[in-house]
Structure 1
Amino acid sequence: MALLTDRLDAAALAAELDETGFVCIENAIEPAWIARAQAYVHRLVEQKGKRYFALNWLSRNQGTPPQELTDDPQMRRLLTRLAQIGCPKAKLDEEIYTGLRVVAGRTGDEKSLLYHYDKHVITALAPILIPEGPKRRAGELVVFPNRRDYRRFTLFNIVEKAIVQSSWYRNRVTRKLAAGDLPNIKYLKPGNLYLFWGYRTYHANFPVASDAVRATMLLHYGDPHPSSVILKANTVRQNRDERRIAQEA
């Protein structure tokens, strides 16, 4: 089992998410899993070079760290219950959508501070490699939690995301970030598990120094718009684009 925390109270966590928007479960992931995951990422970086890449559905590869964490019974129970509480109408698929994000080298700057809303109800973030470095150059997470409710109409959701995920809007948000430590900026630590309402939380990450590597595993669950053909097509396109980026030398 990858998780060390047993019998997590999903109802209490959901209440905390509603109140604060962000939860850190300290020392939730066993050190042995972290070590395996770090070695796994280092091998990928050796293969692909020190640059940005994103890989989805690695949990389908049996015997890998992504598969171990995703299929952990505690993780599945936790995400299922949180998705049910967070959005009772959400569709709960058999698979948990997973992604590995690696930010490294100069190309990492292009994939940083890209504020967005996730497509799923709940997001769990497991840091694997978090570099030390100057503030705002160490891949810190930036969150604006619970900024919106679930949208009844898919078209409204699409238009809203097109606006707030545009370059001019993202740049505006970044410019307004005050200097110094802010409650919106989260410093991540391998071994901890971080939770937030992905669909409702506007978030991004700061860049990393060109000689550093930041790697996180993301688990998303609960589809608030299961019948949307447009969103499904967009997901297919995004997955295709990310596969292309990952395969580029």
Structure 2
Amino acid sequence: MNVSLADQPSIAGNHLAQQINSNGYAVIENFVDPSDLRVAQQFVSDAIARNNGEYVGFSGTKDLGGTFLADLPQDPSFIELCRNIYESGVGKPAPDVNFYQILRCLSGSEAQNHSMMFHFDSYVLTALIPITVPAHGMPGRLVIHPNTRNIRKTYLGNLVDKALVDNPIAQNWFKKSYQKGADNVLRLTLKPGNLYLFWGYRSLHTNEACDADAIRATALLHYADPHADSRLKQMLRRH
């Protein structure tokens, strides 16, 4: 599927939301300009080299100057697209909130520690842009159990879900199910420069590991925390 931001955002957003609901994800191919992608790839390569070939992570945009990732969260077309995907998928007006953005650069011995950990995101919509994908060995595919839960009415309900997932017994079961080739699991080989969209809050997901001498770098922009106003969440953050 290929949807351009040159389309009317509301039309594109509705179409993408339908794809996510039906297929578990949607993709806009060649979303990033090739020259912008090369700059981001060099940024990742340099960052990993400075860290002796090991994992590097960035939160927010303040350290990403010179790359398209520094500007994307403020891009009006991208914001409008995500808002319309949210409204089409959730059936409510989109909140006026910023993205929570991270850049994960897997490499070296630490790559294994940041892989195959199944989880639910705290935000409704996840937008993932692969920057660098291994050209050999294990490609670090995106693994998704699509749309396995609804948006919980309370933050407490969300905490219960996460407690049931974030424990050794559950993680071992998910991994064994994955290794057996469960039919309801998506395994997506990512292409640098594409934009992948899925309901990160609703979908149990993770990434496969990559070889220690390879680099797997992905930018993730998360949109709309349904429990942002929860008093329980705010109280727990203070302690």
The normalised TM-score by structure 2 is: 0.87
Structural RMSD (CA): 2.5
Instruction: Provide the rounded CA distance (Å) in 1 between the counterparts of 2:152 and 2:102.
Output: 24
Structure 1, unmatched stretches of 5+, are: 238-249
Q: Which moved more, 1:120-129 or 1:17-26?
A: 17-26
Shift of 1:234: 6.6
- Residue of 24, 27, 32 corresponding to 2:30: 27
Structure 2, unmatched stretches of 5+, are: none
Shift of 1:89: 5.1
Does 1:75 find its partner at 2:78?
yes
Q: For 1:42, what is the secondary structure of its paired residue? A: helix
**Counterpart code for 2:153:** R
**Counterpart code for 2:142:** L
Shift in CA distance, 151/50, structure 1 to aligned 2, threshold 3 Å: same
Shift in CA distance, 168/80, structure 1 to aligned 2, threshold 3 Å: same
Instruction: Provide the rounded CA distance (Å) in 1 between the counterparts of 2:140 and 2:150.
Output: 27
Shift in CA distance, 180/18, structure 1 to aligned 2, threshold 3 Å: closer
Q: Check the 8 A contact 2:132/2:215 in 1, yes or no.
A: yes
Matched residue, 1:210: 212
Q: Check the 8 A contact 1:54/1:102 in 2, yes or no.
A: yes
Matched residue, 1:244: none
The normalised TM-score by structure 1 is: 0.84
Q: For 1:211, what is the secondary structure of its paired residue? A: coil
Alignment coverage as a number of residue pairs: 233
Q: For 2:197, what is the secondary structure of its paired residue? A: strand
Instruction: Provide the rounded CA distance (Å) in 1 between the counterparts of 2:232 and 2:66.
Output: 34
Shift of 1:170: 1.4
Deviations 1:179-226 (A, max 9, x none): 679761100001211000111011000111010111000011112112
Instruction: Provide the rounded CA distance (Å) in 1 between the counterparts of 2:159 and 2:78.
Output: 30
Instruction: Provide the rounded CA distance (Å) in 2 between the counterparts of 1:123 and 1:95.
Output: 13
Instruction: Provide the rounded CA distance (Å) in 2 between the counterparts of 1:233 and 1:55.
Output: 26
Instruction: Provide the rounded CA distance (Å) in 1 between the counterparts of 2:68 and 2:20.
Output: 27
Residues 97-246 of structure 1 mapped to structure 2, 5 A cutoff: 97-134=100-137, 137-178=138-179, 184-232=186-234
Q: Which moved more, 1:182-191 or 1:52-61?
A: 52-61
Percent identity among equivalent residues? Answer: 33
